[in-house]
């Protein structure tokens, strides 16, 4: 009888851990911010806050080993009340044993960069202004700050030096199979609302292209799904986390490999499959009833 009691006790005490066991999957999202009223004057809204809530719920169901948000987590980072919804989603991730990492977007540093950054670091204490790296299942994710207009020359140089040294270190590390680089501003996009970032191209792309392990560059800022191949490497825009959808140029400035795949709301799953990475774009259905695997790609 005592033995039976112990077995039941173990089952109930560890049931939560079993139910929340994470998978070696990485989730990426960007631009989860609530739309600002001034944005609604120019762009059409579509239950955007509901979409963000559903993305976090779907990620929780996935039970990834980590979730990464590529900036614009909230609409105005310096206002504490703007974090209320996201705080509840982050708490649920924490309760479900899912670590969430992020890098700064322009909305985090808008109007009051100091206070916005402080609020951001309260939620993401692992964030480092000079960049930081997390490793999941031999995949290194390097997050960078692309808010160059808000950075001093010294800060930009410090990040450049750290980034260059980090990529070389990861290339030489036998335990690392792939490297994914992420920041907020997109080096390539056909958005009519935001321009491609020349600073990202100049400061981040050379080391990425020259690296033997860097295979995927992710960004947001453009509220779209876009996919490009530049010098044999994959660049993706995944700004479908809840911000207002942005129109694209009909005659693409940069050839988009996913020209026929334009979900309004989406996030990205990444799995390591031996000598390649499998990428799955999880798109929210137009009727808001759930998510489907909208597009599947492989990079190596």
The helix (H) or strand (E) run that includes residue 27 is: strand 23-29
Distance of alpha carbon 116 from alpha carbon 106, whole angstroms:
10
| The pLDDT value given to residue 10 | 39
Given this model, what pLDDT does residue 17 score?
41
The closest of 249, 292, 241 to 105, measured between CA atoms, is 241
Give the predicted TM-score (pTM) of the model: 0.92
pLDDT at position 125: 96
pLDDT score at 92: 97
DSSP 34: P
Q: What are phi and psi of 80, to 5 degrees?
A: -60, -35
H/E stretch holding 91 = helix 84-95
**pLDDT 10s digit of each residue in the chain, 300 long?**
444 434 334 333 344 344 457 789 999 999 999 999 999 998 999 999 999 999 999 999 999 999 999 999 999 999 999 999 999 999 999 999 999 999 999 999 999 999 999 999 999 999 998 899 999 999 999 999 999 999 999 999 999 999 999 999 999 999 999 999 999 999 999 999 999 999 999 999 999 999 999 999 999 999 999 999 999 999 999 999 999 999 999 988 899 999 999 999 999 999 999 899 999 999 999 999 999 999 999 999
Looking from the CA of 188 toward its CB, the CA atoms found within 13 Å total: 20
- Residue 129: predicted pLDDT: 87
| Distance from C-alpha of 184 to C-alpha of 202, rounded to nearest angstrom | 15
What is the pLDDT at residue 22? 75
The beta-carbon contacts of 229-238 under 8 Å, at least 24 apart in sequence, are 229/257, 230/188, 230/205, 233/208, 233/209, 234/297, 234/299, 235/186, 235/187, 235/188, 236/268, 236/279, 237/186, 237/188, 237/189, 238/28, 238/29, 238/30, 238/70, 238/266, 238/267, 238/268, 238/281
Helix (H), strand (E), coil (C) string for 60-75: HHHCEEEEEECCCCCC
């Amino acid at each position: 009888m005592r033995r039976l009691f112990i077995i039941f006790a173990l089952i109930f005490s560890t049931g939560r851990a079993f139910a929340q066991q994470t998978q070696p999957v990485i989730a990426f999202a960007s631009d989860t911010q609530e739309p600002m009223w001034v944005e609604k004057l120019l762009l059409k809204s579509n239950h955007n806050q509901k979409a963000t809530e559903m993305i976090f719920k779907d990620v929780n169901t996935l039970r990834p080993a980590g979730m990464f948000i590529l900036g614009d987590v909230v609409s105005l980072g310096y206002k504490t009340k703007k974090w209320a919804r996201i705080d509840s989603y982050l708490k649920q991730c924490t309760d479900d044993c899912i670590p969430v990492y992020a890098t700064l977007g322009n909305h985090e540093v808008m109007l009051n960069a100091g206070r916005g950054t402080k609020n951001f670091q309260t939620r993401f204490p692992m964030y480092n202004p000079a960049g930081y790296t997390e490793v999941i299942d031999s995949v290194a994710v390097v997050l960078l700050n692309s808010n160059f207009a808000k950075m001093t020359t010294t800060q930009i140089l410090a990040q450049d030096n750290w980034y260059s040294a980090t990529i070389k270190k990861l290339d030489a590390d036998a335990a690392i199979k792939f490297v994914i680089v992420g920041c907020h501003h997109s080096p390539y996009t056909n958005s009519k609302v935001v321009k491609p970032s020349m600073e990202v191209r100049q400061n981040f792309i050379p080391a990425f292209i020259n690296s033997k392990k860097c295979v995927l560059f992710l960004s947001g800022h453009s509220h779209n799904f876009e996919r490009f191949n530049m010098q044999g490497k994959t660049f993706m825009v995944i700004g479908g986390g809840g911000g207002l959808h942005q129109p694209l140029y009909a005659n693409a400035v940069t050839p988009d490999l996913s020209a026929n795949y334009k979900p309004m709301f989406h996030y990205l799953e990444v799995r390591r499959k031996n000598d390649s990475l499998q990428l799955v774009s999880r798109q929210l259905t137009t009727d808001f009833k759930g998510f489907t695997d909208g597009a599947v790609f492989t990079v190596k």
